[in-house]
Structure 1
Amino acid sequence: MLFDMDGTLFDSEPLWDIAIEELAHAYGSAISVEARLAMVGRSVDESMVLFHDSIGQPWREAAASARWITDRVTGLFATDLVWRPGARELLHEVRAAGLPTALVTSTSRQCVDVALDTLGRHNFDAVVCGDEVAFTKPHPDPYQRAAKLLGVDPTDCIAIEDSPTGVASALAAGARVIGIPHAVKLSPMTGLTLLTTLTGATLATLTTAAFPH
């Protein structure tokens, strides 16, 4: 089982909102709602282009802005992470069943290391972070790497995702995907099963939904 983190296991997009909006304010501007939504699930480089373009300051140094946002979010992750409904229960059931499990996120290792204090490091056999792969979501690389680390074929995996970029990444890797839309809508497509919530979802129901007979 392959889990995305932001927006899937945690309702953490509001924490990213805080950091992004604070930095925009520090730059004497504000980010548009459209640009912020477009950043969801994207790589740091892509997000910083969207951010700087939205605030009308494309000349800003991407690395400096990304570092400021990452440091701010890291602090918020230490104190303000909230589980999405049903996510913790599903994760615990998956682990109790002994299934190989990976966390696959576009977020940097710095933030993820703090988040793992809440997630539980023991809940994952592998962790793939956005700054540890050659290509981030929507490229299949993150999910392919996770499957390889688990020693399984991606086509035998179920990925849990909330963003279009994450869904695209998992599908391109060959995984079946359970989509739980949150900040951004998801469109129906082959290989994707859409649910409104993980509340009440079980390993059995998700397996049946992802691999129908």
Structure 2
Amino acid sequence: MNPAAVLFDMDGTLVDSERVWGIALSELAVHAGGVLSDAARLAMVGTSMSLSMQIFRDDLGQPGRPEAPDVAWLSNRVEELFSEGLVWRPGAMELLLAVRAAGVPTALVTSTGRRLVEVALKTLGRENFDVIVCGDEVGRPKPDPEPYRTAAALLGVPIGSCVAIEDSPSGVASASAAGAAVLAVPAELELAPVDGVHLRTTLTGVDIAFLAGLLV
């Protein structure tokens, strides 16, 4: 049997947007009079905007730096970069289209805010998702299970019959805690083996039959 739904993360899973975030964050650090460390940047992958900004301030040694102006600056810059077009991750577009062709419901479940997701959808295709859950539309973002539970509830399907596809530790933790079967394809960060999580190096070659097999 096919999954009841396939729940896709966005940044680093469907599109190579983590690289874009890295560019914008490095530029913001220079704007703030500092340099963002590689360790801090990697620690931000898959996290909420609030947590990312906390890591950013701590890394720059500016814990009292106001958050709102930095979020506005960063959002504007990322929007500019997203508008130039996003690059699909290997195999991601093919898998998404195959899932749609099979008639399986899909959701986009991302830590990114709605404003930037709307820009990314120009690449991803709004028509490819039945439900979109953004990071600023949930009370508790990833790694909390709320985003994935919300997506399944909106689709009207049991989360335990869904497959979630993720690339980051926080996303994997969110989907696993929600009760979905999880396919993890790391991008920026290495992922340690976790019981019940299926690891692959790429989405190339993954099809709906493979996803169905994860539920067995």
After superposition, the CA RMSD in angstroms is 0.8
**Structure 2 residues not aligned, in runs of 5+:** 1-5
Q: Which has the higher contact order (CA 8 A, sep 6+)?
A: 2
* Residue 188 (str. 1) matches residue 188 (str. 2): no
Q: Find the partner of 1:103 among 99, 103, 108.
A: 108
TM-score, scaled to structure 1: 0.97
Deviations 1:29-82 (A, max 9, x none): 001100100000011111100001101111111122112111111111111310
* Residue 204 (str. 1) matches residue 215 (str. 2): no
TM-score, scaled to structure 2: 0.96
Deviations 1:105-142 (A, max 9, x none): 00000000011111011100000000000000000000
Q: What corresponds to 1:140 in structure 2? A: 145
Letter in 2 for 1:34: A
Q: What SS class does the counterpart of residue 165 from structure 1 fall into? A: helix
Q: What SS class does the counterpart of residue 189 from structure 2 fall into? A: coil
Q: What SS class does the counterpart of residue 206 from structure 1 fall into? A: helix
Give 1:27 shift.
Answer: 1.0
Deviations 1:141-175 (A, max 9, x none): 00000000110011000000000000000000000
Q: Find the partner of 2:88 among 59, 83, 92.
A: 83
Deviations 1:8-44 (A, max 9, x none): 0001111101110111001110011001000000111
Q: What corresponds to 2:156 in structure 1? A: 151
Q: What corresponds to 1:165 in structure 2? A: 170
**Structure 1 residues not aligned, in runs of 5+:** none
Letter in 2 for 1:191: G
Q: Find the partner of 1:113 among 112, 118, 122.
A: 118
Q: What SS class does the counterpart of residue 177 from structure 1 fall into? A: strand
Q: Percent identity?
A: 58
After TM superposition, where is structure 1 displaced by more than 6 Å over at least 4 residues in a row? none
Contact 2:105 2:130 in 1 (8 A): yes
Q: What SS class does the counterpart of residue 84 from structure 2 fall into? A: helix
Letter in 2 for 1:103: L
Count of matched residue pairs = 211
In 2, Cα distance between equivalents of 1:23 and 1:80: 21
